[in-house]
Structure 1
Amino acid sequence: MHQPAISHLAAADPVLAQLIEGEAQRQFEKVRLIASENYVSTAVLEATGTVLTNKYSEGYAGKRYYEGQQFIDPIESMAIERAKSLFGVDHANVQTYSGSPANLAVYLAVASPGDTVMGMALPAGGHLTHGWSVSATGKWFRSVQYGVRKDTGRIDLDEVRDLALAERPKLIFCGGTAIPRTIDFPAFAEIAREVGAVLVADIAHIAGLVAGGAHPSPVGHAEIISTTTHKTLRGPRGAMLMSDAAHAKALDKAVFPGLQGGPHNHTTAAIAVALAEAAQPSFREYAANIVANAKALADALVARGFELVSGGTDNHLILMDLTNKGIGGKPAAKALDQAGIELNYNTVPFDPRKPFDPSGVRLGTSAITTRGLGVEQMPQIAEWIDRAVAAGDDAELTAIAGEVAELLAGYPMPGWA
């Protein structure tokens, strides 16, 4: 049963309620390894579903365009102060709707259409909004892209510097969606200073690890920090922008009125809850366990003959090239889903296959760590992955799914009982 209960929804719209219950049960019974997903706490779920969704609040605390903000202003101010305290930043904006709009606000704040911008190429592990060609950021700006070394799968910062010196970008993005190694923020900052660029650290994937001390922080190196609030931070589907004092006003203006109207107050409240949870000592243990699980899973996969981009991981994320297994990422992901193991097919650096049918899969350990699984369960997960990838029929996949559900029955899930 979903928690908090959805009895009113079940009475008003039973078909929809049944679909939500089905999704909750699916999340309970599967090993969820999608690197951008997690389980939020019941408290975050409750905050997301409150009457705050009824209220319009264009503007910022103390300077709104609608009346009746006596409770909304302190909620937003609370989220801001918690973000500033947790990450040690001068300024935080908690109104951005999601990660992509947050990054668009960065462009609006510090660049003009046609300016040169620099980011990690999408096939190498970057994000669409870091200037990739099919994104608005690649269409409205002159984008130059860096990648990784073919021999190591890691960013070559000497090549990044040479590209930056040649192209002189207005801003440089570091971070991405499929980077299994530690991001060297000081090195990126030195390059940005040398060419007079604004450094933007997109920590959407690693924000929880940064907050929990399991990954170095970009604070003091990047002038602007962009992040989602879910993934490793274990909050609702939202985003934040953080910065030094010098960029605070421009960022706020870019978010509102530059890109959006009223904030989603129920999400703001849930972000405040998640930030308070991330400030607890237990969250530091959680962040360390995420990394320990990822390393243990990576080792177990390598032992079974799987090839990992860069050879392993320093964080929550594993990028696996299935070429040597004789199967593409897409059919492997679909087989694994049938076997009760949820991940996503993903391009790998220098992938000869098309993006919709790539060579790799991407895994992450945030959600299974929230459930309480530890390093002792990682070899079993690797064995299931190995069996599912090699499975020749549906019966084997169904058998694995049963074993997965049997294991997970012993690990509670927030939001389902």
Structure 2
Amino acid sequence: MDETKTINKINELLEEHNVWRKKECLNLIASENVTSPEADRLSVSDLSHRYAEGKPFHRHYQGLGFVDEIEALTQDLMKNLFRAKKVDLRVLSGTLANAAVFKGITNRGDNIISSSIPNGGHVSHTQHGICDVVGLTDYAFPFDYDEMNIDVDKTIKLIEEKNPKILLFGASLFLFPHPVEELADTAKSHDAYVMYDAAHVLGLIAGGRFQDPLKEGADVMSSSTHKTFFGPQGGIIFGGDSLGDEEWKNIENAIFPYFVCNHHLHRLPVLAQAAYELSQYGSDYADQTIKNAKTLAEELHTFGFDCLAEHKGFTQSHQVVLNVEKNGGGKTVAELLEKNNIILNKNFLPGEKITKENMNNPAGIRIGVQEMTRCKMKADEMKHIAELIKKAVVDKKDVKAEVVEFRKNYTEVGFC
């Protein structure tokens, strides 16, 4: 190996990637976003070189006095933004946030009720992921396919039958608010904790939109910090008013030493900056994001795409979901669009059975508008994106050059 050629090649690839994704692509992955220039500036500091174990002002390492203050102030910003009394910033992803909560408030052999993967659930909510690691048995929420949401009446019966330790709301395919308030009392009357995975909608919640899980009865809220919440890659856990001090302490003790030692300190100033930006611009950002998603869905529907939940206005979040089975399936469509610089992902659809045949090519695609919204796109731009998708998928036209030219006008980050 020629090490010099290798590192030069890596530098070339990085620059090519930066230009391609930041200046030439329509980024419609529902789990991504971009940070502001100020957040980018804060991400490069001596904190990248430092190590910490434990909570602020109670570390196992020296030399962290300034870090302690930064972390404590960031905690305050997040508590204020989400009206929460407890917060822990140390988890490094949404999955690890879920793992720490599971470990902290359940025992092996307990049951959990969450959304199945086709109905929107994240793999960490199931026995295909973290549930298996911590010894939980998962049962799927009954789903109302007309309403595209959890079936409340059937869930009450399932709670009575299975006596879960956790009722876990939130999803990766997430069009409408979940019935937290409608089910919280029943869950708690059966000694179950109400948990909400806000990873996809945390930025909308910060803007006062979608729903307010902690106010609606959630005991604990887990999340990542880089989807609709436009912060650094990482995780977070909030404790609600109803969560006892002992349970919160158990969650904190599960974070370290079970799942995190050093918690990547360079994230903290970036997280603080994102929280500040959302405190100032969050309501406008959330409103525009939801409006853009609705506009995109309506226009795609007009072009003949099978867009889920038409009778409910398609969506109340950042997401739009299409059944593209007639167009060749999710993988086929996603790969075709990638060749045209339109980036999104394949997805199972609610009610779809997972088989060997469709494992790699499910019926759906999931679209998220939050990143392009942050790049100052509005309704007219959503209509143009729908037209570009139609040209590529239905008309089989090459629209790559048109996409590149269109994206040139939207490279600045807004809401900051």
TM-score by length of 1: 0.91
Within-5 A mapping of 1:15-414: 15-27=9-21, 28-130=23-125, 132-138=126-132, 140-220=135-215, 221-244=217-240, 246=244, 247-280=247-280, 282-311=281-310, 312-323=314-325, 325-352=326-353, 354-392=358-396, 396-397=397-398, 400-414=399-413
Unmatched 5+ stretches in structure 1 = 1-9
Give 1:315's aligned amino acid: S
Cα shift at 1:391: 4.2
Cα shift at 1:194: 3.0
- Contact 1:154–1:310 (CA<8 Å) still a contact in 2? no
- Contact 2:31–2:200 (CA<8 Å) still a contact in 1? yes
Greater Cα offset, 146-155 or 383-392: 146-155
- Paired with 1:34 and 1:296, the residues of 2 have a C-alpha distance of 17
Give 2:28's aligned amino acid: L
Cα shift at 1:414: 4.7
Greater Cα offset, 340-349 or 180-189: 180-189
Cα shift at 1:413: 3.5
- Contact 1:235–1:274 (CA<8 Å) still a contact in 2? yes
- Paired with 2:162 and 2:340, the residues of 1 have a C-alpha distance of 47
Q: Secondary structure at the residue paired with 1:298?
A: helix
- Paired with 2:140 and 2:11, the residues of 1 have a C-alpha distance of 45
Once the two structures are superposed, residues 371-393 of structure 1 have per-residue CA deviations (whole angstroms, 9 ceiling, x without a partner) of 1110111121111111211244x
- Contact 1:309–1:348 (CA<8 Å) still a contact in 2? no
- Paired with 1:235 and 1:29, the residues of 2 have a C-alpha distance of 22
- Paired with 2:117 and 2:236, the residues of 1 have a C-alpha distance of 22
Aligned-residue CA RMSD (Å):
1.9
Greater Cα offset, 307-316 or 336-345: 307-316
Give 1:60's aligned amino acid: K
Once the two structures are superposed, residues 46-88 of structure 1 have per-residue CA deviations (whole angstroms, 9 ceiling, x without a partner) of 2222210111110111111011111110111011111100000
- Paired with 1:133 and 1:225, the residues of 2 have a C-alpha distance of 20
Give 2:339's aligned amino acid: Q
- Paired with 2:130 and 2:71, the residues of 1 have a C-alpha distance of 29
Unmatched 5+ stretches in structure 2 = none
- Contact 2:127–2:137 (CA<8 Å) still a contact in 1? no
Cα shift at 1:340: 1.7
- Contact 1:200–1:225 (CA<8 Å) still a contact in 2? yes
Give the aligned partner of residue 7 of structure 1: none
- Paired with 1:255 and 1:194, the residues of 2 have a C-alpha distance of 28
Q: Secondary structure at the residue paired with 1:361?
A: strand
Greater Cα offset, 81-90 or 308-317: 308-317
Once the two structures are superposed, residues 303-336 of structure 1 have per-residue CA deviations (whole angstroms, 9 ceiling, x without a partner) of 112122323101101111112x341110100001
- Paired with 1:12 and 1:80, the residues of 2 have a C-alpha distance of 41
- Contact 2:32–2:227 (CA<8 Å) still a contact in 1? yes
Q: Secondary structure at the residue paired with 2:333?
A: helix
- Paired with 1:215 and 1:39, the residues of 2 have a C-alpha distance of 21
- Paired with 1:210 and 1:142, the residues of 2 have a C-alpha distance of 29
Give the aligned partner of residue 6 of structure 1: none
- Paired with 1:161 and 1:307, the residues of 2 have a C-alpha distance of 32
Greater Cα offset, 349-358 or 193-202: 349-358
Cα shift at 1:257: 2.0
Cα shift at 1:129: 1.2
- Paired with 1:153 and 1:83, the residues of 2 have a C-alpha distance of 31
Give 2:388's aligned amino acid: W
- Cα distance change on mapping 1:414 and 1:11 into 2, 3 Å: farther
Give 2:158's aligned amino acid: L
Q: Secondary structure at the residue paired with 2:350?
A: coil
Once the two structures are superposed, residues 160-218 of structure 1 have per-residue CA deviations (whole angstroms, 9 ceiling, x without a partner) of 11111110100110001002112232113123223220010101000000000121211
- Cα distance change on mapping 1:360 and 1:340 into 2, 3 Å: same
- Contact 1:39–1:413 (CA<8 Å) still a contact in 2? no
Greater Cα offset, 143-152 or 69-78: 143-152
- Paired with 2:14 and 2:186, the residues of 1 have a C-alpha distance of 48
Q: Secondary structure at the residue paired with 2:214?
A: coil
Q: Secondary structure at the residue paired with 1:233?
A: coil
- Contact 1:121–1:147 (CA<8 Å) still a contact in 2? no
- Contact 2:327–2:394 (CA<8 Å) still a contact in 1? no
- Cα distance change on mapping 1:413 and 1:188 into 2, 3 Å: farther
- Paired with 1:254 and 1:21, the residues of 2 have a C-alpha distance of 39
- Paired with 1:406 and 1:185, the residues of 2 have a C-alpha distance of 44
- Contact 2:115–2:121 (CA<8 Å) still a contact in 1? yes
The percentage of aligned residue pairs carrying the same residue is 29
Give 2:226's aligned amino acid: H
